[in-house]
């Protein structure tokens, strides 16, 4: 064997030994691989150059067994600055943004004084704070006054009205006194003899009626008062119930079902309409033993009743009073027996005793006729 062939054999053997020893080389001695696809396997410290990636994003490192992570990080500029994996928006369309931390509900608003976008509370918008008669955040505001006049925050009781107190200089919830010029025992009498649904089978009449705020009904010169609530219980049936005040002052629930009434109340059956001498309150319908959710309100604070005289009758009005009497031009009026034929009288007037029948034939002129048996 000559020298050339001997050298060739030696070189080949060395290369073979190096190839066989490649997996056992130290990690810091491995070469950089390249290609278009990341190898499925890698050792910690391996590097790979991905040739088909965008410039600046080509280098990958094996951070753990078979785990590649891109190493290229771009530095951004313009409206967005910093490293690509931790960028910050510092401006919009070239206009700076203040780094101030915003508060809840604020908006990004342009400040011409500082020439930048800044978080600010926008007046009238969401999250704004109101003032004047209405104060607090716009979403949870409170009316504390009316036209600049304060309102007391005390919780009102049923039937009270908002009344001006000249001593304290504010609006306050108060119970209107009966009489004394108030004209109502509760605000505008809206609570007087109201009927409310307490449950599916129970109605309550006058829930606000009490000794201090009675529910009053007037028939002519008589006033009747309800000073405690009344309950109306429906046992069964379908139809209408008529709530009214009878002329005798009795609170009545007329019906065609099975109804019971507690307290100062009666519940007569067979009633299909309001009696002519009653004051209507409500009509309430029921179906199969259950009251409807609402009824028909028949109350009327303002009302009138006209008197029209018939034949032989006349009516006169004086200071709010109506007087009904006989029409003397149609009906002759009886008077006392005249003392003489010239006793004062009105034509048509008459009188009688056991002996004579007297008739006024003209003004202050009497005639008489003797009475006899037959």
Boundaries of every domain in the chain: 192-297, 313-370
Dump pLDDT digits (tens) for 84-128. Answer: 667 788 888 888 988 989 888 788 888 989 999 888 877 655 556
Q: Quick check: 186 and 192 in contact, CB under 8 A?
A: yes
Question: CB within 8 A of 341, min separation 6: which ones?
Answer: 365, 366, 367, 368
Of residues 111 and 79, the one with the higher pLDDT is: 111
Biggest CA pair distance of the chain: 196
Please name the residue ranges forming H helices in the chain.
3-21
What integer is the mean pLDDT of 180-189? 43
Q: Phi and psi (nearest 5°) for 58? A: -95, -30
Res 15 pLDDT > 50: no
Distances (CA, A) of 355 to 40, 76, 332: 149, 137, 20
State the chain's mean pLDDT as an integer.
Answer: 83
Res 270 pLDDT > 90: yes
Res 153 pLDDT > 60: yes
What integer is the mean pLDDT of 149-169? 84
Dump pLDDT digits (tens) for 298-347. Answer: 988 777 777 888 888 988 888 767 889 888 778 888 999 999 999 999 88
- Asked whether the CA dihedral 269, 273, 279, 282 is positive or negative, the reply is positive
What integer is the mean pLDDT of 340-363? 94
Res 33 pLDDT > 90: no
Distances (CA, A) of 138 to 121, 134, 234, 316: 12, 9, 47, 63
């Amino acid at each position: 064997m000559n020298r050339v062939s001997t050298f060739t054999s030696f070189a080949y053997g060395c290369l073979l030994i190096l190839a066989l020893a490649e997996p056992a080389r130290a990690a810091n001695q491995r070469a950089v691989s390249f290609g278009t696809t990341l190898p499925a396997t890698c050792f910690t410290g391996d590097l790979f150059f991905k040739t088909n990636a965008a410039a600046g994003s080509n280098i990958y490192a094996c951070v753990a067994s078979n785990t590649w992570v891109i190493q290229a990080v771009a530095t951004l500029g313009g409206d967005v600055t910093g490293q690509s994996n931790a960028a910050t928006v510092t401006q919009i369309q070239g206009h700076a943004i203040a780094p101030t931390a915003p508060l809840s509900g604020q908006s990004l608003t342009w400040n011409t004084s500082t020439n930048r976008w800044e978080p600010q509370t926008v007046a009238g918008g969401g999250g704004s704070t109101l003032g004047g008669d209405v104060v607090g955040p716009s979403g949870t505001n409170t009316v504390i006054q009316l036209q600049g006049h304060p309102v007391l925050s005390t919780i009102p009781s049923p039937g009270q009205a908002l009344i001006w107190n000249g001593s304290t200089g504010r609006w306050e919830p108060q119970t209107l006194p009966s009489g004394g010029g108030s004209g109502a025992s509760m605000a505008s009498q809206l609570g007087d003899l109201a009927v409310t649904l307490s449950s599916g089978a129970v109605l309550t009449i006058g829930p606000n009626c009490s000794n201090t705020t009675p529910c009053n009904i007037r028939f002519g010169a008589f006033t009747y008062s309800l000073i405690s609530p009344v309950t109306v219980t429906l046992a069964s049936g379908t139809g209408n119930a008529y709530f009214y005040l009878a002329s005798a002052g009795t609170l009545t629930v007329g019906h065609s079902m099975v109804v019971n009434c507690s307290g100062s109340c009666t519940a007569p059956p067979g009633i299909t309409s309001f009696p002519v001498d009653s004051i209507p309150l409500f009509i309430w319908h029921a179906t199969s033993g259950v009251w409807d959710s609402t009824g028909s309100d028949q109350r009327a604070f303002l009302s009138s009743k006209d008197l029209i005289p018939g034949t032989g009758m006349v009516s006169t009005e004086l200071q709010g009073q109506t007087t009904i009497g006989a029409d003397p031009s149609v009906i002759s009026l009886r008077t006392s027996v005249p003392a003489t034929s010239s006793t004062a009288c009105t034509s048509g007037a008459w009188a009688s005793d056991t002996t004579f029948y007297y008739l006024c034939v003209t003004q202050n002129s009497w005639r008489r006729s003797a009475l006899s048996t037959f």
